[in-house]
Chains A and B, each alone.
Chain A
Amino acid sequence: MKSVVCVKRVPDTEARIRIGDDGRSVDPSGVKFILNPYDEFAVEAALKHKEAGEGEVVVLSVGSAESVDVLRTSLALGADEALLLTTTQSAEGLAVAEAIAAELKERKFDLILFGMKAIDDDLQAVGAMVAELLDLPSATVVTEFSVEDGKVTAHREIEGGTEVVEVPLPCVLTITKGAYEPRYASLKGIMAAKRKPLTEKEAHLGLSHTIESALEYPPERQAGRIVGEGSDAVPELVRLLREEANVI
């Protein structure tokens, strides 16, 4: 089975984000960039399925030359080959999906995997768009899947439960946290990564219609408040946790 995993370079979840001078982009200076955490699940899923049988895992990214980092990381984890579609401009999701689809149209893959979303723009759209552009079936928000007799059985995370869907190969899946706990790279994996093939070629981006016009910092955290004392306060606390904080 041949899989391609589309991955993205994003700011570290612990990075201190500064807005750039243009007021609409992140100032990259001093920011550490990482492999998008949801893409880690997708890479892990592809590696697990490769290890269970025969196969090959290709990782693909669209981005600046610096995206080589996350491809090397994926190679260190066990992917066999990497492809970077380079671009210096920022682009909307559909434009990126068109670049990926144009590349994948030329190649044969059984599985095209994405992380459910990228943690920088939270778009959650490129995977489904690529499926549409390639006229392939897809399943999104997948926590676990198996492959048998030319079809995928995927568990989808839905509100309050799980939905099981069957999708014929080849197909597109977007993966979220679930059965695929990302591994740590082994030292040998890291050292082998630099000898694995990594190709760079120019991305054929589609036209972007949406433009990021401004970025703003989140509001400062407000001080906590006491909702009452003793057991009398419990109903109000539960109501607030449910209705305001949306955590239960």
Chain B
Amino acid sequence: MATAERARNRVDTRDFLSVDGQLNDEELMIRDNVRTFVSAELLPRVPEWYELGTLDPAVARELGKLGLLGMHLTGYGCAGSSAVAYGVTCLELEAGDSGLRSLVSVQGSLAMFAIWRYGSDEQKNEWLPRMARGEAIGCFGLTESDAGSDPAAMRTVARRDGSDWVLDGTKMWITNGSIAEVAIVWARANEGVHGFVVPTDTPGFSANEVKGKLSLRASVTSELVLDGCRLPADALLPQAQGLGAPLSCLNEARYGIVWGAIGAARSCFESALEYSLGREAFDKPIAAYQLTQAKLAQMVVEVSRGHLLALQLGRLKDAGQIRPEQVSLGKLANVNAALGVAREARTVLGANGITLEYPVMRHANNLESVLTYEGTAEIHKLVVGNAVTGIAAFR
């Protein structure tokens, strides 16, 4: 069969289950807009960023111009979109690269959300409009080198000195840390954990970029050092009481990952499909072999199922009914599925699969980070296990 005729006989490989029919016109328009932007403006630059281990911070302004930073928040220059619209955006961004989605997740769901949900009016007015435009990049400092899954073990302390606060400690694995204008820092005080809005030019604050990453290379990751970092009383996030506050922020970001992982998986599947149709072995395309088709079919299963799962969580979130263990299930399932798709896609591409010319190895490596950040797969299993048994295995 001729190539062109074969192509005409194929179904829409991007939407095997006709999930698009479940999205409304506005969600589709937002999706198509981000998809076009990613493929035309960002994808041509991503491999170079990945190779250099960096990301042009100016991309934040481009994303801000499109209104994607804090898009699901209301007021203060934010668009107030639905959770599903935010989800399809995360999917398309991560089809580009997990680093792009991470930038948007950290900006919108962690840093901006923390200020929007727990901040004072002054803090919101000062930071949110600039952050929405991408003029100020934010980061979120909760994790420490010895306190990841168990944030209660944090050693960063906040002590009062007159009306001021003084922060001491070190935060680790902080996305956007070295390019941020503002850091949301969580620290232990006598009465419990507090959140602080810390301008990164505050004396005593410094950020050191983590070098030598083999994953999420198109993303800036840093260590934050707080050395007698003195802040005025109004730097405190007044509404944040205890660890529940930062954990609620993480839950927001995780929701985006449920969608984003499927974007990375879809990109790997499409790359494998296209390659398998063009590459010939023993006088026919490798797509014509049953073993390859079995791989492609399994990829379609994983991408389609994950997409539906994400959409269901989105609809629950928009209805205000989503529960944290449901988000845990989504992150656990979709990141694992995406990793499986990426690894399988790699085998379809053979040696080409390990190069930057194709997106597959880049996604596969990124997803190794996505697997453990914003709650490890193990922790999410424990959360789901807790939910179904009523027994908390980690306390």
By a beta-carbon cutoff of 8 Å, the part of chain A in contact with chain B is 16-18, 30, 69, 72-73, 76, 184-191, 193-194, 217, 220
Residue B7 at the A interface, CB < 8 A? yes
Known: A16-B10, A191-B81. A186 touches B29 (CB 8 A): no
Give the Cβ gap from A48 to chain B, nearest Cβ, in Å: 16
Residue B3 at the A interface, CB < 8 A? yes
Known: A190-B29, A220-B2. A184 touches B37 (CB 8 A): yes
**Across the interface, which residues of A come within 8 angstroms of B80, CB to CB?**
191
In the complex, the answer to whether B67 meets A194 with C-beta atoms within 8 Å is no
3 closest Cβ pairs, A-B complex: A187-B67, A187-B79, A186-B67
B2, B33, B71: most-surrounded residue (chain A CB, <10 A): B33
In the complex, the answer to whether A16 meets B26 with C-beta atoms within 8 Å is no
In the complex, the answer to whether B26 meets A190 with C-beta atoms within 8 Å is yes
In the complex, the answer to whether B33 meets A184 with C-beta atoms within 8 Å is yes
Residue B111 at the A interface, CB < 8 A? no
By a beta-carbon cutoff of 8 Å, the part of chain B in contact with chain A is 2-4, 7-8, 10-12, 25-26, 29-30, 33, 36-37, 65-68, 71, 79-81, 85
**Across the interface, which residues of A come within 8 angstroms of B33, CB to CB?**
76, 184-185, 190
CA–CA, A30 to B71, complex, Å? 30
Known: A184-B36, A184-B66, A187-B71. A194 touches B4 (CB 8 A): no
For chain B, what secondary structure do more than half of its interface residues adopt (helix, strand, loop), or is it mixed?
Answer: helix
Smallest CB gap from B30: residue in A: A190
In the complex, the answer to whether A194 meets B26 with C-beta atoms within 8 Å is yes
Residue of B29, B37, B65, B67 near A73 (CB, 8 A) is B29
Known: A16-B7, A191-B79. A186 touches B26 (CB 8 A): no
CA–CA, A17 to B79, complex, Å? 36
Residue of B3, B8, B25, B68 near A187 (CB, 8 A) is B68
Smallest CB gap from B25: residue in A: A72
Instruction: List 18 interface pairs A-B (beta carbons < 8 Å), by A numbering.
Output: A17-B8, A18-B8, A69-B25, A72-B25, A72-B29, A76-B29, A184-B33, A184-B36, A186-B65, A187-B66, A187-B67, A187-B71, A187-B81, A188-B67, A190-B29, A190-B33, A191-B81, A194-B26
Smallest CB gap from A77: residue in B: B33
**Across the interface, which residues of A come within 8 angstroms of B71, CB to CB?**
187
**Across the interface, which residues of B come within 8 angstroms of A69, CB to CB?**
25
**Across the interface, which residues of A come within 8 angstroms of B8, CB to CB?**
16-18
**Across the interface, which residues of A come within 8 angstroms of B10, CB to CB?**
16
